[in-house]
Amino acid sequence: MRFKTSVSKLKNDDVIIRGEPLSSLIETLSFSDAIFLLLAGRKPKATESSVFSALLVAIVDHGMGTTSSLAARFVMSGGNPLNAAVGGGILALGDYHGGAIENAMLQLKSLSGEEGKSEEVAAQYVERAVRKKETIFGYGHKVYKEKDPRTATLLALCQKLGYTSPFIDLATQIETALEKAKGRKICLNIDGLIAAILLEMSFLPSLGKGIFIIGRAPGLVAQAVEEQDTERPVRRLDESEIEYLPDSDP
């Protein structure tokens, strides 16, 4: 059985990763640059390096109330090992939590090929999606209704660094069009902005969820270990928080 790979290979007491010897990468690359090299197949340019590092920081944790943090804590509280708890948190990442990056990349990519000014492309797309009641991935948030502060900070950093992109412009124009169409703000969330940035950096959409997993894994480890070290086992909902529906009463 033969396996083919362009990711990495052991060679002469070293590991060659995307053509670069690990022995020299250890001395020269930051962790986020190494992730970029591994996933994009090339080293980032200076500005890309700063923006990519910042976007990973932006998603490193989002409080214990998120779906994946709670899942990790619940699995841990049942008395399972750390890998099961972190794995449980990762399994909880889906299209509406963390996993929106991939779909947002696919949506933005499909629109970037359309003819016309980007404001018009955005407006037509939103009109179509709202009419068909389709989800526009990368917009809206359970907690942030007016603006996602992480998006605002990352956007400001991109502007400060002069990191511009037609994908970022399109993503913000969709936010404007969505507000007009719905009559209220549905903000560009952090997944949506990350999707636009990753497209500009030439990452494949199929990497979107993986990049979120990489960014959030440290948060899940921190949440799960804290649960294990500081909480008594077996979390459960208080009965007062459970509404028992009368028509299912035996």
Ligand X SMILES: CC(C)(COP(=O)(O)OP(=O)(O)OC[C@H]1O[C@@H](n2cnc3c(N)ncnc32)[C@H](O)[C@@H]1OP(=O)(O)O)[C@@H](O)C(=O)NCCC(=O)NCCS
Distance set, CA 200 to CA 52, 101, 159, 208, 236 (Å): 11, 13, 14, 13, 44
Residues 189-208 that bind ligand X (CB under 6 A): 189-191
Pick the binder of ligand X from 137, 167, 203, 212 (CB under 6 A): 137
Q: Which residues within the stretch 33-62 sit at the binding site for ligand X (CB under 6 A)?
A: none
140 binds ligand X (CB under 6 A): yes
Residue nearest to ligand X (CB): 140
User: How is the chain classified by DSSP, letter by letter?
Assistant: -----SSEEEETTEEEETTEEHHHHHHH--HHHHHHHHHHSSPPPHHHHHHHHHHHHHTS---TTSHHHHHHHHHHHTT--HHHHHHHHHHT-BTTBBTHHHHHHHHHHHHHTSSS-HHHHHHHHHHHHHHTT---TTB--SS-SS--HHHHHHHHHHHHHT---HHHHHHHHHHHHHHHHHTS---B-HHHHHHHHHHHTT--GGGHHHHHHHHHHHHHHHHHHHHHHHS-S-----GGG-PPPGGG--
Is 44 or 140 the residue whose CB approaches ligand X more closely? 140
Q: How far is the CB of 181 from ligand X (least distance, A)?
A: 9
Using the rule CB under 6 A, is 123 a contact of ligand X? Answer: no
Q: Which is nearer to ligand X, 51 or 105 (CB)?
A: 105
Return the range that interacts with ligand X (CB under 6 A); candidates 35-43, 113-121, 130-138, 238-246: 130-138
Which of 75, 93, 100, 111 forms a contact with ligand X (CB under 6 A)?
Answer: 100
Q: Which of 85, 136, 195, 198 binds ligand X (CB under 6 A)?
A: 136
Q: Find the binder of ligand X among 9, 45, 128, 142 (CB under 6 A).
A: 142
Q: Does residue 128 interact with ligand X by CB under 6 A?
A: no
Which one of 29-37, 68-76, 162-170, 182-190 is the stretch in contact with ligand X (CB under 6 A)?
A: 182-190
Of 28, 135, 164, 206, which lies in the binding site for ligand X, with binding defined by CB under 6 A?
Answer: 135
Residues of the shown chain interacting with ligand X in the complex, contacts defined by CB under 6 A: 96, 100, 135-142, 145, 186, 189-191
